[in-house]
Amino acid sequence: MIKISKATSKEALIEEWHRVDVPHYGKRIDWKEKEFRLKAVERRKIVGTVEGKHGSGVIYIDSLITVERARGKGIGTMLIKKAEEFGKKLGAHRTWLITGKDWSENIFYKKLGFVLVGTLPDFHFHKDFVVYTREIK
């Protein structure tokens, strides 16, 4: 009889993952993820934040926000740039993120060169979401 129970962090078959690294990627892979959290400060007040993680050669932007009064000043662009600089030091070659399909932020991401690569219908709270990515230069 097979029993399912809670596992400890990364307890699940690490060596089995590494056995398929070479056939899938041509080399053994370091699967460690590293989280980041960055803030933009103006006059000693936080006006924007970005957070996410680096793993497997990519940066994932989990959240990006600027305070409403500071939007349009390039803060979001600077935060993404710093996140990508962090990732590049760790070997990242690509950034990706998920956002609401009909949200105004789509214009911002497209302006920064992000490319729409997928749709997630009926996703968070039954809303459609989209996936964007871009190469880190």
**Model pTM?**
0.85
How confident is the model over 3-20, as pLDDT tens digits?
Answer: 888 877 666 667 777 788
- Superfamily per CATH, domain 29-135: Gcn5-related N-acetyltransferase (GNAT) (3.40.630.30)
How confident is the model over 87-129, as pLDDT tens digits?
Answer: 999 999 999 999 999 999 999 999 999 999 999 999 999 999 9
Comparing CA positions, the residue from 91, 97, 100 lying closest to residue 29 is 91
pLDDT of residue 15: 73
Return the residue matching tokens 């935060």.
Answer: 79
- C-alpha to C-alpha distance for 79 and 67, rounded to whole angstroms: 13
Q: If you write DSSP's letter for every residue of 48-81 in order, what string do you get?
A: EEEEEEEETTEEEEEEEEE-GGGTTSSHHHHHHH
